[in-house]
Structure 1
Amino acid sequence: MQEISRQLLKLVYQDVKPAIGCTEPVAVAFAGSVCKKYVTGGIKKIVLTTSKNIYKNGKSVMVPHTNGKAGLKLAFCLGVLFGDESKKLTVLSDVNEQNLSETLNFMQNCDILEEIECESPSIYIKADVITENEAIQVIVASAHTNVVLIKVNEEIIFSKNICDTSSSDDELVSELDFDKIIQISDDIDLDELFLLKEGINMNIKAFNEALENTYALNIGKTLKDLQDKNILGNDIITTIRIATSSAADMRMGGGNLPIMTSGGSGNQGIGVILPLYLVAEKENVGEEKMLRAIFLANAVNKYVKLYSGKLSGMCGCAIGAGVGVCAGMTYMLGGNNEQIKGSCNNLLANLTGMICDGAKDNCSLKLASSASEAVISSYLALNGVIVNKNVGIIGCDIENTIKNVGILCNQGFKYSDDIMLNIIR
């Protein structure tokens, strides 16, 4: 059990990191920053090839420090000109107005092509940069900052197998179930949870920032106004809608504050952390129990992704982060293992099939819906309401349900994802 615990901890924290901006365009900017190290002459041409999911999630979402501008080309050019590779998903944190102006001018005078590689991992970015002196190729795959190839003038500087982690992940999945994840969350050393405290502070700052200023569609701020006018209730569900949508407004609207991610996604980091923090505050839950609940939620989100994939045709806020919140909240409020699993089945009976139509400003709506429905699903389970097994998507147990969702994502939604890509292109 100790070895499984160590592996799970490592796997969870691979995708729980600070990020500024939507992680897909930021990953493209990161790829640009890796190329930057090898540029010695003027850049003449850029060919940016991405998976359909990277393209879908980067086309319309605003890039940080750009005054509301969007697009993968812009993200890459900022990275290749001014990005700091060492900062990973905060690669654009130091970009300023002068950098933006120079980047926009550069883009007008550079040949930049954008292509989609349909037969690739869901996270896949290949950048070819042709300069006066060299031809550089960088590939990032399987994770947002996982560099698998660096090639300069046909000389391979760095290379590793894209699928290096898949066998160990598969092995871990075969040994994991919800009971073990819950036990690990109960037993994990409290010192291992420090990063989650940092994440709470980050994500709270993000939603407060959006309530005080204007970002994206102002969904969270408007919901707060409706609450103040007594059109919406002054209850925990509405409060969670306001908090999660506000933080997402800031993030998807090109805000410059960092977000602690979950499963490699900033919106999912918001959706995991803020509901559990707010419910803990309401229910007077101690800090240790809350942190263990947040770890459990992150672990469950990661567990779901081992079946569904990191990016798919379904909204990860619903089927990943939302399920994590169900598990974490039910655990945090004293539910037993059957209630924890039942709350997750409640949510999947409700929100399975919520489509992902790309990252953009209105993702705040889906995040708010997923987070609030997750809290309702948990309270239902704690009060004896759990959906029946072996009905629809719901399997004989929660593990089987998640396998069913994974099949639907990888086989059924593969085609809907292709159609969605054609719609938004």
Structure 2
Amino acid sequence: MHYTVKDILEIQVAPALGCTEPVAIALGAAAAVSLLPGKQIDDIEIWVDPNIYKNGLAVSIPGTGGLSGLDMASALGAFGGNAALKLEVLDSVDAVAVAAAQKMVKSGRVRVNLLRDQVGLFIRTIVNGMGHVAESVITGLHDNIVSMTLDGSAVRDHDLLPKARSADGKSRLENLEAWLKELSLDQLLELLDDLDDEDLRFLESGVEVNMRLADYGLKHGSGLGVGRTLERLVRQRLIKRDMITAARILASSAADARMSGVKLPAMSSAGSGNHGLTAILPIVAVEKFILVDHRILLEAIGLSHIITAYVKAYTGRLSAICGCSVAAGAGATAGVTYLMGGTKQHIAGAIKNLSEDLAGVICDGAKGGCALKLATAAGTAVQAALFALQGVNVSFTDGIVGRSSEDTMKNIGTLTTQGMIETDRTILNIMLEKQFSDV
């Protein structure tokens, strides 16, 4: 099976309002409620995999004034979500829905179950109302609703359900990722030749969407205020506004806004809004320092999405490693190198430089502190590109770095899927101990 860059953008890149884990939980609830006659909601029960649980635990939910929690996300989706909006399901939530969700959570009528041994993204939601029982199941992708049932009977024909799977029974994402894994860096770069005007307009919309978040975070000092603090340090001449600092400011400002629950969407990449911020904004920041045609910027962002998708095909959608660092970071450094006129060899070197630098960054859930990690990933992406362009390339004899950028990205995947399983469990246990302690 053959895919194009248009397929990659269609499957991997989409607007998302709020952190995608609580959003996916809200989507599951909204989908189930859409089946209920009368739409009365008596109680909700959800089952989620460890990584959905980890990433939905503490992050603020957009439009709620800072509310958080998996139970709250589910209740919000049930009372005010519009499942037809997919990853923007919470755009329709208003004050009435927030109040109803708070009341339901406070009364203990939303139960959250952690499936500790579940591998891969999984959300099952059951909603009871007026004697009826509606259920939805999401797997693989944050907006991939694979089944819906009402009173035990499967709903076959519904707009929210995916189109028929391929003859081998695999989803479009599974087939796309299998195809991506077979490609070389040369072939990934060649995909850019197929970008048409529609693709370029879509890539431009991603810049606009993510820049709105960055501008909001800078103006209001949202969340942890990492971006605004960096900007203040520049104005006080304590640090200098160079390419690296500019990239850090844009990425962290957008993360500040997004992680604090600002009701603005992000253009996601590989299923994550923060991946999308990292994949796009460092490249936008660098453009202001060089002389380059705007189309090249959009091509560079297209390459960033492609490389991000390539790495995620090996690491999986959610893991113990910070995907903003190792996946979107790899995409961003490839894009920055391309933007600055680098060759394939330069791009390969930049990816290896970044991987050596950031491979050990863990994912300890979505929260305000992610802005710090995005600042690091964005700055390192630019630094890795600049180093590669100056002939600095990590040797394949170093640690997990391979002979090629492809081998290096595969090694990152092996580290994630085989070496970090116990790390992921330990991270979650630490988070759970904090959650349930009396301190």
TM-score after normalising by structure 1: 0.95
CA distance in 2, matches of 1:12, 1:423: 36
Q: 1:227 aligns to what?
A: 234
In structure 2, the residue matched to 1:29 is 26
CA distance in 2, matches of 1:282, 1:33: 45
Structure 1 SS opposite 2:104: helix
Q: Which amino acid aligns with 1:79?
A: G
Residues 1:216 and 2:214 are matched in the alignment: no
Cα deviation digits, residues 382-409 of structure 1 (max 9, x gap): 1111111242101121111111111110
1:5 Cα offset (Å): 4.5
Corresponding residue for residue 134 of structure 2: 136
Task: Give the match for residue 11 of structure 1.
Answer: 8
Secondary structure of 1:46 counterpart? strand
**Residue in structure 1 matching 2:74, options 68, 73, 76:** 76
Which residue identity does 1:36 align to in structure 2?
V
Structure 1 residue 11, shift from structure 2 partner: 3.0
Aligned to 1:386: 393
Contact residue 43 and residue 110 of structure 1 kept, 8 A: no
Structure 1: runs of 5 or more not aligned: none
Moved over 4 A (4+): 159-163
The Cα of 1:190 is off from its aligned counterpart by 3.6
Aligned CA RMSD, in angstroms, stands at 1.7
Does structure 1 retain, via aligned residues, the 8 Å contact 2:49–2:122? yes
CA pair 351-171 structure 1, distance change in 2 beyond 3 A: closer
Is contact 2:138-2:146 (8 Å) kept? Answer: yes
2:361 alignment partner in structure 1: 354
CA deviations on 1:43-74 (whole Å, 9 max, x unpaired) are 33311111111010000000011111111111
Shift of 1:281: 2.1
- Pairwise CA distance, 1:133: 2.2
From the superposition, tell whether residues 417 and 171 of structure 1 become closer, same or farther in structure 2 (CA, over 3 Å): closer
**Secondary structure of the structure 1 residue equivalent to 2:68:** coil
Rounded to whole Å, the distance in 2 between the matches of 1:384 and 1:20 is 40
Indicate the residue corresponding to 1:39 in structure 2.
36
Deviation for aligned residue 1:284: 2.1
What do the CA deviations read for 1:133-176 (whole angstroms, capped 9, x no partner)?
21111001100110111011110113777953465235403531
- Kindly indicate whether the alpha-carbon contact (under 8 Å) linking 1:12 and 1:263 is maintained by their aligned counterparts in 2: no
State whether structure 2 residue 180 is matched by structure 1 residue 180.
no
C-alpha displacement at 1:94, in angstroms?
2.3
Once residues 179 and 212 of structure 1 are traced to their aligned partners in structure 2, the CA distance between those partners, rounded to angstroms, is 41
Aligned to 1:200: 207
Q: Counterpart in 1 of 2:437?
A: none
Verify the 8 A CA contact 1:190 1:288 in the aligned structure 2.
no
Check whether the contact 1:220–1:241 (CA below 8 A) recurs between aligned residues.
yes
1:40–1:133: 8 Å Cα contact kept in structure 2? no
Alignment check: 8 A CA contact 2:259 2:367 kept: yes
Structure 1 position 338, deviation (Å) = 0.9
Check the 8 A contact 1:280/1:286 in 2, yes or no. Answer: no
Deviation sequence 1:29-52 (CA, Å, 0-9, x none): 111110121123533331111111
The farther-off stretch of 160-169 and 363-372 is 160-169
Deviations 1:291-320 (A, max 9, x none): 111000000000000000111100011110
After superposition, the Cα gap between the structure-2 partners of 1:44 and 1:4, relative to the gap in structure 1 and judged at 3 Å, is same
Equivalent of 1:87, from 82, 85, 88?
A: 85
> Where does residue 261 of structure 2 map in the other structure?
254
Structure 2 distance, partners of 1:145, 1:47, is: 19
Q: 1:338 aligns with which of 329, 342, 345?
A: 345
* TM-score, length basis structure 2: 0.92
CA-to-partner distance for each residue in 1:309-363, whole Å, 9 max, x for gaps? 1111000111101000111111121111111111000000110010000000000
Match of 1:108 among 101, 106, 114: 106
Find the residue that maps to 2:319 and give its secondary structure: coil
Aligned residue pairs total: 422
The separation in 2 between residues aligned to 1:200 and 1:16, in whole angstroms, is 12
In structure 2, how many angstroms separate the alpha carbons of the residues matched to 1:188 and 1:370?
27
SS for the counterpart of 1:91 is: helix
Instruction: Pick closer, same or farther for the CA change 1:64–1:174 going to 2, 3 Å.
Output: closer
1:262, distance to aligned residue in structure 2 (A): 1.0
Amino acid at match of 1:148: V
CA gap of 1:224–1:132, structure 2 versus 1, over 3 A, is same
Query: 1:123 Cα deviation (Å)?
Result: 1.6
